[in-house]
Structure 1
Amino acid sequence: MNQLPIFLNLRDRPVILLGDGEAADAKRRLIERSGGICVGEDNADARIAIVALEDEAEAIEAVARLKARGLIVNAVDRPALCDFTTPAIIDRDPVLIAIGTGGASAGLAKALRQRFEGLLPATLGDLARALDSARDAIRYRWPGSAERRRAIDAALAPNGALDPLSDLDADPVAGWIAGGGAGVAAGLYDIAIGSPDPDELTLRQVRLLGSADLVLHPHDMPPAILSRARADAAMQIDDGETTAEGVTVRLIWALTAGSS
C-alpha cells in the first residue's frame, strides 16, 4: 500500500481549483457534490488544491506555489506532482467505495468501478443507516468491543445475517440483534497455506484472516497472503510462543502443517 486512503469532510470548506475545460469542470462537480466550495488561488483559508491546467510549465509552477503555502495538492494527469489522488467512486450514500491506482491508470479504476457497481445493491446505504441507528442496541447486546466486532464481522460475512450482497429483509438489523451471534470466538487458529496465490485461500481462511487481531507467520510468507488480514491486525514472525488475547491466526505452510 503506497497511499493512505482517507475520506475528507469538505462540507462548506474552500478548495482551490485552478484551470478551465473538461478536466477542471469534472473536478468542480466532484468538489461541489462533496459539499465543498470552489475558490481561487488567493483564498487564504483553503488547505486543499486541485490544479487542472493544460500547460505543463504552468501546472508545475502552480503546484510549487501551492505546496510552498503548505497546501496538499492534486495535479490532474500528473501523478508525480500529486500529494493525493482522487479515486473512482461508487456512491451508496452513506456508503462510499473508492477505487484508486495511485495515479497509475484512471481508466483501470473506472473499469473496476463499473464492474463493482453491478454487484452492489441499491439498498446498501439503507443497511448502513440501520446499523448506525442501532449502535446503542448493538453495544448493549455485545458490551465488549472485541466480541462486538466479531459479531458484526460474522453478520456481514458471506451468507451472514447481514450479508451486504444478499437480498435482506425490511428490517434485518433488528432481527440480527434479537437472534444474536458471536462470530469468530477468541482463540488460536491454524491456517495451512498451500500456495502463495491469495486467490486460492478458502472462504473460511479469508474470514479468519479478516477477523484476526494478531497474525503469526513464517518469515517467508508472501505479502500478498498477509494483506488479506485486517488492515489494523498486528503481524508477528511466529516463534512458537504467544499469549495474545482475542483472535490469533497462525499461518503455516501446508507441507509442514499438522492441520488445515
Structure 2
Amino acid sequence: MHSLPLFHRISGQRVVVVGSGDMAEAKARLVGRAGGIPCPETEAHHARLAFVAMPDRRAAENTARRLKDAGLLVNVADRPDLCDFTLPSVLDRDPVLVAVSTGGASAGLAKHLRLRLETILPQTLGPLATSLSAARERMRARFQDSTARRRAIDAALQEGGPLDPFEPFGAAALDNWLESQTVGTDRRVEEFALSSDDPDDLTLRQARALGKADNVLHDAAISEAILARARADAKREPLPATPPSKGFTVVLRRG
C-alpha cells in the first residue's frame, strides 16, 4: 500500500484552509461537512490539519513549509509531492463511508470509481450499519462465542444473505434474522492448492474464503500478496500446523 488509510475525526476542531477561489472553497465545505471549523493560517496553533489551495506554486510551497514546521499535517492541492495526506473520493451512506484513493495519481479516476459505486450501493446501507451497531449487545447475547458470532454475521451479510448490504434493508430484517439463528461453533476447513503468487489469479471461491476465514494455515512459499487478502484479525500459522478445533480455517498450499 502507498498509504495508511485513516478516517480522521475533526468535529468541533479547527482546520486551517489557506487560499482562495473554487478549490479553497471546496476544501472549506468538506471540512464543514465533517463537522470541522475552517480557519486561517493565523490560527494554526489551534489546528492539527491544514489544506493549501493556492495557484502560485512557490507561495504554496512556502505556506506548506510553514504549516509543517508548526507541526500540522498538510494537504496541498494538485501537489501530491508536498502532501502529508491525500483526500479520497468519498461515498457517504452515513455512518458508512466508502473512500476511493489513488494516492494523488488521478483524482478523476477516484471520482469515477466512486460514481460507479454510487449506483450499486443502496441508500439503506446507512440504516443497516446503524441497526447492526444498536443490536451489538443482542448479538453478543445470542452468540456468546465470538467465533460463532463472526460466522453468523458473515453469513448474514454475504451475497444473497438476509442482511445482504447490496439489497434494500427493511426495519424488521435484523430482528427476523436474530430470531431465526441457531448457535453453533462447528469446525470447518477448506484447503486450496495455489499455483501463482498473483492475488488476481485467486478464484472467487478462494478470495471469499480468505476474506471470511478465522484461521489461515499456509506453506512458507505462499506470497504475502495472497495472505494480505485474509482478514486482518485472522490467525496465521505456517504449515504443518494443525487446524484449530473450532472456526473456519483455510489451508493454502503451493500447487
TM-score (norm 2): 0.89
The match for 1:21 is: 21
Letter of the aligned partner of 1:230 in structure 2?
A: R
Residues 151 and 184 of structure 1 are in contact (CA less than 8 Å); yes or no, is this contact kept in structure 2? no
1:46-96: CA deviation from partner (whole Å, max 9, x where unpaired): 111111111111111111111111111111111111111110010111111
The match for 2:241 is: 241
The match for 2:67 is: 66
Question: Secondary structure of 1:118's partner?
Answer: helix
Question: Secondary structure of 2:92's partner?
Answer: strand
Question: Secondary structure of 1:250's partner?
Answer: strand
State the alpha-carbon separation in 2 of the partners of residues 143 and 75 from structure 1: 48
Residues 155 and 181 of structure 1 are in contact (CA less than 8 Å); yes or no, is this contact kept in structure 2? no
The match for 1:132 is: 133
State the alpha-carbon separation in 2 of the partners of residues 45 and 183 from structure 1: 52
Residues 150 and 182 of structure 1 are in contact (CA less than 8 Å); yes or no, is this contact kept in structure 2? no
Number of matched residues? Answer: 253
Change (3 A) 1:181 1:30: farther
Change (3 A) 1:90 1:182: farther
Stretch of structure 1 that moved more, 172-181 or 238-247: 238-247
State the alpha-carbon separation in 2 of the partners of residues 182 and 107 from structure 1: 47
1:107-151: CA deviation from partner (whole Å, max 9, x where unpaired): 110110011110101111111111112111111111122322222
The match for 1:122 is: 123
What is the alpha-carbon root mean square deviation over aligned residues? Answer: 2.3
Stretch of structure 1 that moved more, 29-38 or 184-193: 184-193
State the alpha-carbon separation in 2 of the partners of residues 164 and 184 from structure 1: 24
Question: Secondary structure of 1:248's partner?
Answer: strand
The match for 2:90 is: 89
1:158-212: CA deviation from partner (whole Å, max 9, x where unpaired): 1112110124444211111111166995454312335555445344322321122
State the alpha-carbon separation in 2 of the partners of residues 200 and 182 from structure 1: 35
Q: How does 1:140-151 map to 2 (within 5 A)?
A: 140-151=141-152
State the alpha-carbon separation in 1 of the partners of residues 7 and 59 from structure 2: 29
CA positional deviation for 1:8: 1.6
Change (3 A) 1:107 1:18: same
Mapped pair 1:108 → 2:101: no
The match for 1:41 is: 41
Q: How does 1:151-190 map to 2 (within 5 A)?
A: 151-180=152-181, 185-190=186-191
CA positional deviation for 1:25: 1.2
State percent identity of aligned pairs.
48
State the alpha-carbon separation in 2 of the partners of residues 209 and 104 from structure 1: 29
Residues 210 and 230 of structure 2 are in contact (CA less than 8 Å); yes or no, is this contact kept in structure 1? yes
Letter of the aligned partner of 1:39 in structure 2?
A: C
CA positional deviation for 1:101: 1.0
TM-score (norm 1): 0.88
The match for 1:258 is: none
Runs of 4+, deviation exceeding 6 Å: none
Question: Secondary structure of 2:222's partner?
Answer: coil
1:11-67: CA deviation from partner (whole Å, max 9, x where unpaired): 111000011111111111111111110001121211111111111111111111111
Change (3 A) 1:15 1:217: same
The match for 1:50 is: 51
Residues 152 and 183 of structure 1 are in contact (CA less than 8 Å); yes or no, is this contact kept in structure 2? no
Give the unaligned 5+ runs of structure 2: none
Stretch of structure 1 that moved more, 56-65 or 241-250: 241-250
Q: How does 1:205-216 map to 2 (within 5 A)?
A: 205-216=206-217
Question: Secondary structure of 2:10's partner?
Answer: coil
